[in-house]
Structure 1
Amino acid sequence: MIELFDVTKRFGSETAVDGISLRVERGELCALVGTSGCGKSTTLRMINRLIEHSAGEIHLDGQPVRNFDEQALRRRIGYVIQSTGLFPHWPVARNIGLVPRLLKWPRARIQMRVEELMSLLGLPMASFADKYPHQLSGGQAQRVGVARALAADPDILLMDEPFGALDPITRDTLQEELRDLQSRLHKTIVFVTHDMDEALRLADRLVVMDAGRIVQQGAPLDLLRDPADDFVASLLGGDDRGFKEAALTRVEERMLPLSPRLIARARVHREATLRQALAVMFREHADRLTVIDDEDMPVGELSLRRLVGARPHE
């Protein structure tokens, strides 16, 4: 879907991105992470040509991006930024329908698409269609920004710190909604964030950048377990990497068959994370949990020893 071949970006004598190569598969959520100024946002903006690359090639579906008309390219790629970029003098429905109007969709089709997206993102038409951006909360405005990016049903979504300005509770909620949306829509998403917990929670592939170069990439768990160097280890949490790994591992991956004579009073859902299970153990002063399913039926057990012990494949 997206391929970068030895891509470089220079601003005068300064090199912001230095010869990076990257392949983002169709339907994958790829998170670019690193310290401020590492080149992650510049990399994102080169994909839709908001910034032109200085050297190398960027391909979409096998075609160089410079073969596309700039405006046509940007209309087929959804783009979400931290400040939402909503037009303040337009109501919500008109903001969402912007790109379909530019593509000259029939009015009835635009209306149907706007209604569909507002419903999908928890923005009832009756309550929000005629509101203006200044009348929305931060989370609501960000939902509108996502809806606008999805309006023309693009295959690709670029997201640059989309939840960075939100409070932690709203941010967690929108992260969960994005995961749910991605499970249904299977868009190809490139996501820039400085929040490692956010990246680890959302990404299929994690790309760590430093000084304009890619220093490591792969599945989040692989990087947590085997960071390439001290910089990557520190960025991923240093001594807390074990807790971050626990937050990505489900109880059902470690639970053992239930021992009927040793059913523990303290319980945890099979889809909870090991980090959540450990929190239950602390709260309940227990070293063993009964694992339950959606019907509250016991399906296994998890001991503290099993929780912190060797991984099943080791």
Structure 2
Amino acid sequence: MTELVALDIGGTHARFALASIARDGAIQLAEPITLKTSDYASLQTAWEQFERQWGKPVPKAAAIALAGPVTGETVQLTNNSWTIRTGALDDQLGLDQVTVLNDFGAVAHAAARAGNDEFLHLSGPDVPLPATGTITVIGPGTGLGVAHFHRFMAGQTLGYHVQATEGGHVDFAPVDTIDDAILTRLRKRHRRVSAERVVSGPAIVDIYETLAALEGRPVVELDDRTIWENGAAGSDSLAAAAIDRFCMSLGSVAGDFALAHGASGVVVAGGLGYRIRETLLASSFAERFRFKGRYEQLMAGLPVKLITHPQPGLFGAVAAFAKEHTGL
């Protein structure tokens, strides 16, 4: 059995968990410890706090998922101030083995290994994800994560390859007049409007304020957490409408990536997606996903699932470590 520390470092939180990989490749995760990234100057100081909270020696191996492009020796996290020098992590954290990967690449590893019972069906045919082919993975959170994995047969064995991307930063493509209004509002503040500006947790503020302006209501400044909570509770009809609009935009963007990836299925991931799962099912998410002109019938044939694993970033980071260091 191999023991290690799994880390999922996002824009808002850093999650740490002890993990193990059995000889048959089975992965076990302990209960995570979650720290706010804004409370710590660096990954190293957060790691030290994790060790203090754990209260006993930790393994000298780690799988680290980072919210940013992992393409060189230095990773600047996209939505927080930490800079990670990947080549120095073994010395800084006292590690003998380390795997570093993009956080949404880790989520794709989790989706590739998850069982059928760890998915909630969202749209398309209610069948398992295909055993071979490409699966798009998309998830709104502090930003918008996008990745894909390709399943293939290698002899008698089923394998997969993960491709992390920075797809959340493609241009936002409006579909109707309300989308046009959201884009116009965002263009007043941003030189370029990416999909992440509309399909992410904080984006609900701009959606909410755009809807208020279109209805001629005074714009009440609320933070994103309050809008999500009020909309989910039904205490603010405009907030509820903003969440519905968010679900529509997520469907549009997910469909765009499915087309771009040549996908045979789609997985929606992330805590935000899970929290609004009932709204996603009741919203126009599926209609917008299919709304691709001449390819509407093709899109209607793709299964779209929501992964329900509670910690896909941590689980996937360990899966990537297992693939790199143990071949499992």
Output the TM-score relative to the length of structure 1.
0.25
The structure number with the bigger radius of gyration is 1
Output the TM-score relative to the length of structure 2.
0.24
